[in-house]
Amino acid sequence: MRICVLGSGSKGNATYIESGETAVLIDCGFSGKETAKRLAAIGVPMERLTALLVTHEHIDHVKGIGVISRKWHLPVFANHDTVSAAGDILARLHDLREIATGTAFVIKDLRIHPFAISHDAANPMGFVVQNHRWRVGYCTDTGTVTKVMGHRLAGCHCLILESNHDPELLRTGPYPLYLQQRIRSKTGHLDNQTAADFLGELAHDGLLHVCLAHLSETNNRPEIALRIATTTLDALTAAGRPRPSIAAAPQDWLTECVVLRD
């Protein structure tokens, strides 16, 4: 499998996953032109895509879904509530395949299991994407950690996990109080320490790579998120557990590709 976060944050999110003849995007909050540019940077033409998966209806996750679906004749996999809440932006798709939270489905070489997360959206989901050998977990835009999330993400070889904000930077930053409260709420976003604690629960000998995603450009710094997560992973390493590689996804460009191979 090959995985690349094309960009992550409040200005746009998209993650590319391929296995064999199958290539999907989880979300697309960028324009079609920008998405094509970022995929081209890893040698992937738009024609290579098999399908688009949607986590929830917020614009930073769906901005490019409609135009990409229509222009490149791609099916879109999303639940009914998300499509309804998105309104016009998901009203005209080449091919809508409605999915249900908690019910797995198959796209060629990939088996995908959507699971419930906690965000201020109609019916938000995370995804576990797996082939015959490898398992990738995608979980951003959640204000709290649940047993369901832990159960679904257990055993993943690669994790893309939200680490949105530093509580002190949020408290002292420019956001008005109501927005701070929204971010800190159970339907908001994970702070760095909560994300790191969750990562510690999910870590196992087969976890090879972690990507911290959806970092706030205003209320976080990559070095802070990485330091807190790394401290957790280092403690596990000291206890004899292998340490996965770790990176923070930028907003303005893509991460290095992660390749999982036998």
pLDDT grade, residue 258 (50/70/90)?
very high
Q: Which CATH number fits the domain that encloses residue 243?
A: 3.60.15.10
* Encoded tokens for 195: 């994300």
Residue 241 has pLDDT above 90, yes or no: no
pLDDT grade, residue 222 (50/70/90)?
very high
Mean pLDDT of 124-142: 98
Mean pLDDT of 53-79: 98
Residue 117 has pLDDT above 80, yes or no: yes
* Encoded tokens for 73: 């004749």
Domain-located, residue 260: no
* Encoded tokens for 92: 């005209």
- 83-103 pLDDT, tens digit each: 999 999 999 999 999 999 999
Domain-located, residue 199: yes
What distance in Å separates the CA atoms of residue 26 and residue 44, rounded to the nearest whole number? 15
Mean pLDDT of 189-206: 96
Residue 245 structural domain? 2-254
Mean pLDDT of 31-51: 98
- 163-175 pLDDT, tens digit each: 999 999 999 999 9
Quote the number of domains for the chain: 1
pLDDT over 90 percentage in the chain: 96
Phi-psi label, residue 62: left if phi above 0, alpha if psi -120 to 50, beta otherwise: alpha
Among 249, 46, 221, CA closest to 161: 249
Q: What pLDDT, on the 0 to 100 scale, is given for residue 93?
A: 97
Among 37, 10, 27, CA closest to 82: 27
Domain-located, residue 259: no
Q: What pLDDT, on the 0 to 100 scale, is given for residue 239?
A: 76
Domain-located, residue 186: yes
Domain-located, residue 261: no
Domain-located, residue 238: yes
CB 76 within 8 Å of CB 90: yes
pLDDT grade, residue 262 (50/70/90)?
confident
Give residue 233's identity as a one-letter amino acid code: L
